[in-house]
Each structure stands twice: as C-alpha cells, then as structure tokens.
Amino acid sequence: MHKIDVEKQLEIIRRGTVEIISEAELKKKLEESAKCRRPLNIKAGFDPTAPDIHLGHTVLLRKLRQFQDLGHRVIFLIGDFTARIGDPSGQNKIRKVLTAKEIKNNASTYRKQASKILDFKKARIVFNSRWFDKMRGVEFGRLLTHYTATRLLERDDFSLRIKEKKPLYMSEFIYPILQGYDSVILNADVEIGGTDQKFNLIVGRDLQRDFAQAPQAIITLPLLEGTDGVNKMSKSLGNFIGITESPSEMFGKFMSISDTLMLKYYELLTGADLSEVKKMHPRQAKIMLAQELVCAYHSEKEAQKAHDEFERVFSRKELPSDMPEYKPEAGEDLVAILLKSGLVKSGNEARRLIKAGAIIFGDCKVSEENFIPQASGILKAGSRRFLKIIK
C-alpha cells in the first residue's frame, strides 16, 4: 500500500462527492487499513443495461481509480443477475426487463471500456449471478427476513408511486435487498454510487449489520447532467458523450455545453485546478477540457486532429476533411440512409433529428422521413455529423 496519511486520503476522496456516510467511519476504516496494512474493499456495482459506457459512468470509475491509487482493492461488480430485474431508483415506472442475451452482450463490453480508467490488474471483477443463481428458495426467503417492508416503503420513489396509484412490482421491491446482499457477500468496506443510489447503499449497511459485519461506509457522487445541461446523462435521452464515440464527435459535444456545465465536468471528470480554470476564457477552457478528455479516451494525436477539424468546420465554416461516404441503394429513404451509413445508432434517433429540423441535404432542410436524394451531395445530421452521398 502507498504510504499516504489518512487526512491526505480523505482530502482526495472528498473531491466531487455529495455525501460520505459517515466520514468518521470512513476515517476509522482508513486508519485501521494503514495500521494493519490491509487494503479496504471498495465496491461499485454496474447493471449492464446498455452496451456502452458514457461520461456519466466515468464519474464513479474515476473515484474508484482514486481508491486504487491510494492502495485499496476495487471490486467491480457486474449486476448480471440484478439487471434481469431492473433498478427502480429514480423511476416512476417499471424498467424494461432485459433478456439474458442482451445482458451478456452488454456486460462483455464493460471491462474493455472501464479499463480506460481502472487498472484491472489491481481490480477484482465479479458477477452477482455467481451467488444468486445458486440461491435456493428457502435461502431467498430467509434473506427477505433481514429487512422490513416498512423500511422499504420509506423510499421516496416507492411512496410516490403508491400515492399516485401507479403499480409497484415485487421484483422492484426486493431489488435494494439484492443489491445490499452483494455487499454482505463481498464484505465491502466502502460502496460508491450516485445520489439516486443512496437508499440501496444504506440497505447494504443495514444488511451487513444484520449479518454481523461492520457496515460499509457510503460515498455518493453527483449525477452528471448530459449535454442539455438539464437531465441526467442518458443514452435514451440522446444527451450523452460516449467514451467510445469518435474523437471529433466527442470534441464537438464538449464545445456545445454551457459554461456552467463545463465547470462541473472539470470538477468531476478531470483533476484540474478549478481556480485556474475559472480564470480562463470560457471558450479556451472548453477547448482544453475537450482536448484532455478526448486524449484520455483516444490519444493526444486524435485530440489535436479533432481540435483542428472543429476549427475548420465551426470557425472557418469549411467541410470536414475526412468525411464518410455512402452510396444508397435504389429507393432507400432518409431514415434508411442515416441508419445504414452509421450516422445514427437507431431509427428513433434518425426520426428525432428529422422532426427537430436537424437534417440538411445540400442547402435545404429535410423534414420528410421518406425523402430520397436524387443527386450526390452533402448530408448533415445535427451540427457535427456529415455524410457524402454518392449517387
């Protein structure tokens, strides 16, 4: 373990956190860890509900990396069992139930993407199906006796749904207990999650006490707003920045955010000195943010190339130097072209862009989904995506 004193560790851990429950407990755990030279078990869970990790996920991953750098043991829990139920946190309706194949495919991408931040030579990856798939009915029934329905009904989103006479399914009701039991199995010293996870994390503490374990300390982190500056970053809302997106797409999205959101991104996604960032001109600060993060998830060369491309297209109003080409088949309409060319990820995204008036062919805005280009030209989707149509 690294010989970093406890106060310095706490200073590093506090940055960007919303709440530590409790800091006194965490400090005691860190002191015992240093004294016994035993690294703490730092747990964070990820339900593989989508195949790609976006910057919202990296807030948590960066905090895990800080603990790694302080010499502690990170447990990267993939909730392949709990994903079959769906976390109800912050929801006013039941989540879509994923198939086993969807979960497996999504989970297969997580390690590779998370390795851009975490050192998996020092991290332990576990799947909670390992213990839940083996749990017999009588064991499951015994687990449920460790928590009361009264306590679960204190949860804000549950009580709101009951008040609004919306359905609350038993599968959702037991989700916090399953997540909490993960902490028991893994003997977690610390669990990290977003503010929307606070109730679930506390259930973990309660269950650990009931199973005669020292309760885990909890660290909650803010939910990162997406590029719209309003809603939590989400692929379904289209306001995300994915860490596997192209360098130019990432760069352009960073340059589109508000000045206020830019400062939050600096705090949660970088190690930059905020006092120095605030002295910079906002545009220059955004360029520096974009370059740093594109470099982190791609390379310094790609970051510089994305910067040059941004200046060419948005400052000098020129066309991109490296534009993908697509030759439509006879009768292919606009939605098909956008989807098959890879300019959009789904038909819904294509229709949303068309409806928003964000599709331009040549110099004309296209508002019809069944539009078929009759000649070669440049197709623009949003402000950053270009496609050369070849007829």
Give per-residue pLDDT as tens, 313-359: 776 666 676 777 888 888 888 888 888 888 887 888 888 888 888 88
Confidence of residue 89 (pLDDT cuts 50, 70, 90): low
Other C-beta atoms lying within 10 Å of the C-beta of residue 247: 22
Under 8 Å between Cβ of 116 and 245? no
CATH 3.10.290.10 domain locations along the chain: 325-389
Residues 6+ apart with CB under 8 A from 99: none
Question: What average pLDDT score do residues 48-53 get?
Answer: 76
- Is the pLDDT at 24 greater than 60, yes or no? yes
Contact 269, 293 (CB under 8 A): yes
How far is the C-alpha of 122 from the C-alpha of 108, rounded, in Å?
A: 19
Question: What global pTM score does this model have?
Answer: 0.75
Q: Indicate the CATH number of 6-221 among 3.40.50.11540, 3.40.50.300, 3.30.930.10, 3.40.50.620.
A: 3.40.50.620
pLDDT band at 95 (very low <50, low <70, confident <90, very high): low
CATH 3.40.50.620 domain residues, the chain: 6-221
Q: Please give the pLDDT value at position 221.
A: 95
Q: Tell me the CA distances in angstroms from 244 to 86, 114, 174, 288, 362, one per residue in order.
A: 24, 11, 34, 19, 29
Average pLDDT, the chain: 87
Single-letter amino acid code for the residue at 301: K
* Side-chain half-sphere exposure of 64, counting CA atoms within 13 A: 31
99-141 pLDDT, tens digit per residue, is: 778 888 877 788 888 888 999 988 999 999 999 999 999 999 9
**Whole-angstrom Cα distance, residue 159 to residue 306?**
48
Q: Give the mean model confidence (pLDDT) for residues 25-38.
A: 94
What's the confidence (pLDDT) of residue 28? 96
Asked: is 325-389 a CATH 3.10.290.10 domain? The reply is yes
Predicted confidence at residue 289, as pLDDT, reads 95
- Please tell me the predicted confidence (pLDDT) of residue 92: 46
